[in-house]
């Protein structure tokens, strides 16, 4: 089974979203509203033009994971340079695992997070997945 993530947007936002997410994820745009992972491993992303504007917080968002906690700030900085906005940073323990992430907005205001791996505070193991 293949997965596609569809993001609703205005016609005016397709180019900006395509440019940002292609660079952020190292994806390739087949056409401006259809992005693919060149390796074929990650979900496709499609920008669906809708007539109404975004009015509330996303009910679903992307989480981008770095390989190591030490890589988080660099990735956030890279995404800011690409046009994202940093909202807030979280560093807490939930169910025995570190939960460290930075919440952000893409260039048109869609929320997403940049996350570090979830590490068990007792034994240092990483939550699979």
Cα torsion angle, 13, 14, 19, 20, sign: positive
pTM of the model: 0.91
Domains for the chain: give ranges and CATH numbers.
1-50 (3.30.720), 61-129 (3.10.180.10)
pLDDT of residue 53: 86
Q: Give the pLDDT confidence of 53-93 residue by residue, as tens digits.
A: 888 888 889 999 999 999 999 999 999 999 999 999 999 99
Q: Give the pLDDT confidence of 108-120 residue by residue, as tens digits.
A: 999 999 999 999 9
Task: Output the CA–CA distances (angstroms, integers) from residue 14 to 56, 59, 61, 74, 80, in the order listed.
Answer: 19, 20, 17, 26, 19
- Residue 54: CB atoms within 10 A of its CB come to 14
CB-CB contact of 29 with 22 (8 Å): yes
């Amino acid at each position: 089974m293949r997965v596609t993530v569809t993001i609703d947007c205005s016609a005016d936002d397709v180019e900006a979203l395509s440019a940002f997410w292609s660079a952020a994820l190292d994806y390739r745009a087949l056409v401006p509203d259809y992005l693919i992972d060149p390796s074929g491993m990650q979900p496709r992303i499609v920008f669906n033009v809708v007539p109404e504007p975004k009015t509330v917080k996303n009910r679903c968002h992307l989480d981008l994971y770095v390989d190591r906690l030490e890589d988080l700030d660099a990735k956030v900085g890279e995404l800011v340079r690409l046009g994202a906005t940093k909202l807030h940073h979280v560093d807490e323990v939930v169910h025995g695992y570190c939960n460290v992430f930075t919440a952000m907005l893409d260039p048109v205001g869609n929320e997403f997070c940049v996350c570090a791996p979830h590490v068990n505070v007792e034994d240092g193991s990483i939550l699979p997945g």
